[in-house]
């Protein structure tokens, strides 16, 4: 850490002329100001400069957040100076835990805490509830929560309090986890149409394997590749592709049944049918033989060179060559795709119990939700004003930092803000087209439910055991080492032995609690 909080706090307390916040003492000190002096609207927030302390948890190699131009501008605008401790890279979580267990807490923490940690630290009195402060001192955040009750539900903890402020994303509706992308140049060369069903897809893959579509005289084409096991399946894997068999893999391998209850996708009959289909592709050489051994970099190298079809959430490689196609129809007419609720980044800003002026702290965080400030927090020096109140995002140069916290801080990058102030790039337009293309096929996504620390602790070991077993069987079944149909009943029994029923009970209890908020 580039700044030692202990030294900082000692210097603040020793300087009586400096108005400050951050002492861990339970008694009121000279740094405490009258909440009535905090301007609820407009700027500056306070008439005399005040200093807060904060931890910024960012990308590996992140510069000191205090050097970011957006925070320097905010200091002038708000009269709130922030002394930053920046942690990132290897050991960042451990460093944050040390700070939280020390006697010199910062006033604010941005990112680095998941919902389980939030729940634990709130229960221990380290974090303070924010809902009353939001109502009185955070007009921007209050407006967003009033207009978007789903966001309020998502950030309300099981005890009924709000302890953290989220980042709001432009995708306010569920979006597809991946798209199915195919080499249109190869299709045209072989005189094939875009496949619409799983059987037509198999025919295309056979042609890609046997008819040398890249024309180099070698059988080096990979008809179909993706990343089949966690944690990569959501954004580069088959969570959505299996929708052709009536099942999709949502958060924690869950999906909704016809009664709106959460069920475990890998225990559904459609999952077994899907595995059988993939095993057939593998046996015939239509699937990447390195499917279960490749790493992410190897996978990405293939999707820009020798892959006929692939799955990814990102931009389509060589868009002149590859195109995203509709989800396939399965043998029973199912045509679904996995969707994910990406409307917010949870837990992007908290205030600790050490903060003597939480009214100032929440008002400072609220300033992040001014539209242009939010865009600067996300994009830093890559944000360029082009006139008429519009901005564009310049492409990042390799190795250069944007000098902004990006997704690691609370802010408003909602669709309303993005559409009003940003000029869309060609990549943005193509991404929007893909979202519209897949929207009609999205299965109901799992909401952003929150677990108690006790629930999370119990689920942790169950989930690890379940996921390990599922990954193992999936690899053996698809690669032909074992037979899914012969082992299915025993497989279901083993899932129960590993705690599946308790797993579902906890998640459905949390879902009921979320729905009742």
Same structural domain for residues 255 and 120? no
The per-residue pLDDT of the chain, averaged, comes to 90
Distance of CA 443 to the CA centre of its chain: 18
Q: Return d(Cα 364, Cα 71) in angstroms, integer.
A: 11
**Residues 115 and 216 grouped into a single domain:** no
305 and 363 housed in the same domain: no
How sure is the predictor about 318, in pLDDT bands with cuts at 50, 70 and 90? Answer: low
Do residue 126 and residue 195 come from a single domain?
Answer: no
> Would you say 29 and 22 are in contact if contact means Cβ atoms under 8 Å apart?
no
**pLDDT tens digits, residue range 158-208?**
999 999 999 999 988 899 999 999 999 999 999 999 999 999 999 999 999
Look at residue 320 in the predicted model and tell me its pLDDT: 67
Q: Whole-angstrom Cα distance, residue 463 to residue 206?
A: 37
Q: What are residue 215's DSSP bridge partners?
A: none
Which are the contacts of 186, defined by CB distance < 8 A and separation ≥ 6? Answer: 208, 213, 214, 221, 308
Same-domain pairing of 256 and 356: no
Instruction: Please report whether residue 401 resides in a domain.
Output: no
Weakest mean pLDDT among 137-146, 215-224, 258-267 = 215-224
Nearest to 337 by CA among 262, 223, 440, 265: 440
Q: Strands (DSSP E) along 331-478, which ranges?
A: 339-340, 344-351, 383-387, 390-393, 411-412
The Cα 282–Cα 222 span in angstroms is 11
Whole-model pTM: value is 0.82
**In the structure, how many helices (H) and strands (E) does the chain have?**
19, 16
Residue 402 lies in a domain: no
CA distances from 270 to 175, 273, 336 (A): 22, 5, 12
Domain containing 56: what range?
5-172+344-371
Q: Nearest CA to 391 among 419, 349, 415?
A: 419
Domain match, 254 and 112 both: no
Listed residue (371, 392, 316, 445) closest to 170, CA to CA: 371
pLDDT digits (tens, 9 = 90+) for 41-56: 999 999 999 999 999 9
- On whether both 81 and 166 belong to a single domain, the answer is yes
**Helix, strand, coil % (nearest 5) of the chain?**
45, 15, 40
DSSP state letter for 242:
G
Task: State which H helix or E strand residue 176 sits in.
Answer: strand 175-176
- Hey, is 175 helix, strand or coil? strand
Closest CA to 108 of 359, 369, 346, 350: 350
Query: For residue 27, what is the domain's CATH number?
Result: 3.40.190.10
Pair 482, 455 in one domain: yes
- 335 and 204 share a domain? yes
- Are 199 and 265 members of one domain? yes
Q: Which residues pair with 183 in a beta bridge?
A: 322
pLDDT digits (tens, 9 = 90+) for 359-414: 999 999 999 999 999 999 999 999 999 999 999 999 877 678 899 999 999 999 99
Region 20-33: mean pLDDT is 47
Question: Considering the domain boundaries, does residue 334 fall inside one?
Answer: yes
Residue 46 φ/ψ region, left for φ over 0, alpha for ψ in the -120 to 50 degree band, beta for the rest: beta
| Banded pLDDT at 512 (limits 50, 70, 90) | very high
Other CB atoms within a 10 A radius of the CB of residue 228 amount to 23
**242 in Cβ contact with 228 (< 8 Å):** no
pLDDT of residue 292: 95
CA atoms of 182 and 207, how far apart (whole Å)? 13
Residue at 110 is within a domain: yes
Neighbours of 512 (CB within 10 A): 11
pLDDT at residue 111, as a whole number:
96
Q: Is 372 exposed, middle or buried (0-12, 13-18, 19+ CB in 10 A)?
A: middle
Residue corresponding to tokens 């795709």: 337
Position 313 in a domain: yes
The predicted model gives 245-268 an average pLDDT of 96
Contact 175, 368 (CB under 8 A): no
Residue 324: phi, psi to the nearest 5? Answer: -85, 135
Q: What pLDDT sits at residue 20? A: 38
Structural domains in the chain (count): 2
Q: Is residue 314 part of a domain?
A: yes
Same domain, 212 and 316: yes
β-bridge pairing 50-58 and 108-110: parallel
Find, among 513, 515, 479, 473, the residue nearest to 494 by Cα.
Answer: 473
Q: Which tokens is 146 given?
A: 């009033």
Average pLDDT over residues 418-425: 93
Mark whether 149 and 180 lie in a shared domain: no
- Strand-strand pairing, 383-387 and 390-393: antiparallel
Phi and psi torsions of 385, nearest 5°: -80, 135
């Amino acid at each position: 850490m580039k700044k030692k909080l202990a030294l900082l706090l000692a210097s603040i307390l020793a300087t009586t002329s400096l108005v400050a916040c951050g002492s861990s003492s339970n008694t009121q000190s000279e740094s405490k100001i009258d909440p009535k002096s905090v301007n609820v609207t407009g700027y500056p927030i306070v008439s005399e400069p005040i200093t807060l302390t904060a931890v910024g948890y960012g990308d590996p190699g992140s510069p000191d957040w205090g050097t970011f131009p957006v925070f320097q501008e905010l200091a002038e605008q708000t009269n709130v100076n922030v002394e930053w401790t920046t942690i990132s890279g290897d050991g960042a979580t451990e460093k944050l835990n040390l700070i939280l267990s020390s006697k010199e807490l910062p006033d604010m923490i941005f990112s680095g805490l998941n919902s389980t940690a939030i729940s634990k630290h709130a229960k221990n009195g380290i974090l303070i509830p924010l809902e009353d402060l939001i109502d009185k001192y955070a007009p921007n955040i209050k407006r967003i929560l009033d207009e978007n009750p789903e966001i309020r539900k998502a950030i309300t903890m099981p005890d009924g309090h709000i302890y953290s402020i989220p980042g709001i994303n432009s995708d306010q509706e569920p979006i597809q986890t991946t798209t199915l992308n195919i080499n249109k140049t190869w299709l045209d060369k072989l005189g094939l149409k875009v496949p619409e069903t799983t059987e037509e897809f198999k025919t295309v893959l056979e042609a890609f394997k046997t008819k040398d579509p890249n024309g180099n005289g070698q059988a080096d084409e990979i008809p179909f590749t993706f990343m089949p096991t966690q944690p990569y399946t959501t954004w580069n894997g088959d969570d959505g592709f299996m929708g052709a068999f009536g099942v999709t893999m949502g958060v924690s391998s869950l999906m909704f049944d016809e009664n709106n209850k959460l069920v475990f996708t890998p225990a559904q009959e459609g999952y077994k049918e899907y595995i059988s289909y993939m095993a057939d592709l593998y046996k015939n050489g239509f699937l990447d033989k390195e499917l279960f051994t490749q790493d992410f970099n190897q996978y990405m190298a293939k999707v820009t060179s020798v892959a006929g079809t692939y799955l990814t959430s990102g931009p389509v490689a060589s868009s002149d060559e590859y195109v995203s196609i509709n989800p396939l129809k399965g043998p029973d007419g199912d045509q679904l795709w996995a969707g994910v609720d990406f409307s917010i980044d949870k837990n992007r800003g908290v205030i600790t119990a050490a903060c003597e002026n939480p009214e100032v702290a929440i008002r400072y965080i609220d300033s992040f939700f001014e539209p242009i400030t939010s865009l600067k927090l996300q994009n830093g020096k890559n944000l360029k004003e082009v006139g008429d109140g519009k901005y564009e995002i310049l492409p990042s140069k390799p190795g250069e930092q944007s000098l902004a916290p990006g997704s690691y801080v609370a802010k408003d990058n909602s669709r309303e803000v993005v559409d009003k102030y940003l000029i869309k790039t060609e990549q943005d337009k193509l991404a929007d087209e893909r979202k519209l293309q897949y929207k009609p096929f999205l299965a109901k996504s799992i909401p952003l439910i929150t677990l108690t620390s006790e629930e999370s602790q119990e689920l942790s070991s169950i989930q690890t055991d379940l996921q390990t077993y599922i990954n193992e069987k999936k690899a053996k079944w698809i690669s032909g080492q074992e037979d899914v149909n012969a082992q299915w009943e025993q497989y279901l029994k083993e899932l129960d032995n590993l705690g599946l029923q308790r797993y579902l009970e906890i998640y459905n209890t949390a879902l009921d609690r979320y729905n009742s908020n």
